[in-house]
Chain A
Amino acid sequence: MNTMTYREACRQAIRDALLADPRCFVMGEDVGKYGGCYAVTKELLDEFGPQRIVDTPLAENGFTGAGIGAALAGLRPIVEIMTCNFSLLALDQILNNAATLSHMSGGQFAVPLVIRMATGGGRQLAAQHSHSLEGWYAHIPGLKVLAPGTVEDARHMLAAALNDPNPVLIFEHIVLYNMEGELDPVLGAVDIDRAALRRSGSDVSLISYGLGVSKCLAAAEALAKEGLSAEVLDLRVLRPLDHAAILATVAHTHRCVIVDEGWKSGSLSAEIAARLAEDALYELDAPVRRVCSREVPVPYAEHLEQAVLPQVDDIVAAARTLLRPA
């Protein structure tokens, strides 16, 4: 097994993609000379040159739209948006063009585009760099939305995304970049269709994605010490959701905690809870619980920020209420 950071896994994935396909190029703010805001594209400019690693001006709508146009006309762009808060400046292009052109044109065009962006809080970057907006994008037909929560997925999801003929958005959690993980050198690919069971258990299902997976695994460990068996489902793909996997884990444990760093109202966690209410109500032995971010803009001060974000203790407490009602 190889050990590497999530950041290095992202970097190697991009490097592989550039080596594998001359049509592939990276475009975004500070991806070149600076090496990427989160250092994911470090040194790639030296290796691939300015035609493949394209530094852009601060023009998210413009260069994201340019990525769509380049995809329409034969290239395979990897657009990097520094943080998902900035992606709102490109939302017009993502929704009105990338997600729409195939259907609206009667299937005359596909948009083989990948957009990577950093998401999430926990680094004291305050309210304009810390939000989790992947749930919004998961609302949009015509997009695929990925949230790698492991080093393995960070390493291999990009290749699958580039192979997909549709616009694929990849949300990389900023706290995960420094996470180290094991990589199986034999495993050369992952799918971008299915959720993954990261831990098996029998008493309660913890459903999450991205950084939430690590928190759920820690919570499961804590619950185990209390004699409670939790299983952890990593959604991996936020759109289209692996509906069968969600139903299957709940059918197995009959209890469910959904952990979502987005705000609770109108969130991905709400979507999953609604699906369980529609299709798995009689499998449930207890109400669905959700652990989400508090409904405020993420603040700077550490204690306030941590009070906003889902914590391992919150997950443990939520699971406990299902298993040992007061």
Chain B
Amino acid sequence: MNDKLHLDRAQLHALYRDMLRIRRFELRCVALYQAQRIRGFLHLYDGEEPVAVGVMRALQASDAVVATYREHGQALARGVPMNALMAEMLGKVQGCCHGRGGSMHVFDRERRFFGGNAIVGGGLPLAVGIAMADKRLRPGAITACFFGEGAVAEGAFHESLNLAAIWRLPVLFVCENNRYAMGVPLQDAESQTEVYRKAEAYRMASAQVDAMDPVAMAVAAHQAVAQVRTGAAPFLLECRTYRFRAHSMFDTQAYRTREEVEDWKRRDPIERLRLWMHDNHLIDADAQAAIMAEVDAEIDAAVAFAEAGTPEPVEALEDFVLMDRVVQEQAT
């Protein structure tokens, strides 16, 4: 574990709880998917939880977030209510997007959560623009933009880093490098596999962190956020992580070996933090049980809320194709 740790016992418990909350939420999603209550694509975050939790804990309410399509963890860590998220997964009108977005398109205006984007790289230009506006309208606010290492091959990545660099925009580019763009390994897709070094071409500050270590991830995120906020310049943080599950719910995983997956699972960041806290007498069995019970109770309530939800009337189908006002401005 990172010996430059400045997290106290309560903060460590919160870090553990936030990651566990994501893991167990998604575990329930798997069951709901198998029961055909959740349909479509379902991209799970198992193994990558430290990234979202670390970054979101470093952000403030006035900051903005642009997410990916593997964004349940990003949404939960940002504070999107679990009830609204689960109802969205079940396609109910009580969902955060009325069930129109589903798993890949979670939006939450109140939390400045500008969406799960399912076009790889599609969110990066948005983050540039949000930061342009915030620089003028909300000085001090930064935008955290999540994307996978697959997005690094897209032109949008390069255009966006360049724009953010030349205009000195407060964007934290968060690359979740889980090593595979669906089934294509990073070394087959990129000539430079040290993603953080791509920032050099844009004269942008960057860093790489072992995101399987939740504390190291939290520290790196904290430092990166502080640098963006005070330096008024963008930063690229490459988070080395691993997804334990298939790209979406099912794939043959022909692109990687079972041994490789098992090897990475032995480094499970949640279990790693739990064991470390246990060994250092920072958590006891009662506290663990209490956290687990709290998390599961919230998930049970969210499932009940979603199952009790109602479908959006088909008559409303064409609502919001065109808007009658700039709703995000009147609302705030």
Contacts and interface: CB of A to CB of B under 8 A. Distances in A.
Interface of A: 51, 56-57, 59, 61-75, 77, 92-93, 96-97, 101-110, 112, 141-142, 144, 165-166
Given A57-B166, A69-B127, A69-B129, 20 more contacts: A59-B162, A62-B163, A63-B125, A64-B125, A65-B125, A66-B126, A66-B132, A68-B129, A69-B133, A71-B129, A77-B129, A92-B119, A96-B119, A105-B105, A107-B319, A108-B97, A108-B327, A110-B326, A110-B328, A141-B321
A144 B322 contact: yes
A70 B130 contact: yes
B162 A62 contact: yes
B124 A65 contact: yes
B132 A108 contact: no
25 contacts: A57-B159, A62-B155, A67-B129, A68-B126, A69-B128, A69-B130, A70-B132, A72-B328, A73-B134, A74-B137, A74-B328, A75-B133, A93-B122, A93-B125, A97-B126, A102-B321, A102-B322, A102-B323, A104-B115, A105-B320, A107-B323, A108-B327, A110-B325, A144-B322, A165-B324
Nearest to A63: B163
A109 B133 contact: no
B105 A108 contact: no
Interface of B: 64, 66, 95-101, 105, 107-109, 114-115, 117, 119, 122, 124-134, 136-138, 155-156, 159-160, 162-163, 166, 319-329
Nearest to B117: A97
Given A66-B125, A69-B127, A92-B119, A106 B98 contact: yes
Contact of B128 (A62, A97, A105): A62
B104 to A, nearest CB: 9
B125 A103 contact: no
A73 B137 contact: yes
Contacts of A141: 321
Nearest to A79: B129
A28 to B, nearest CB: 13
A106 B320 contact: yes
Nearest to B99: A106
A73 B320 contact: no
A137 to B, nearest CB: 14
Q: In the complex, which of the residues B125, B138, B163, B329 has the most CB atoms of chain A within 10 Å of its own CB atom?
A: B125
A30 to B, nearest CB: 15
A51 B166 CA distance: 13
* Top 4 A-B pairs, shortest CB-CB distance: A65-B125, A69-B129, A62-B159, A73-B133
A61 B159 contact: yes
A94 to B, nearest CB: 11
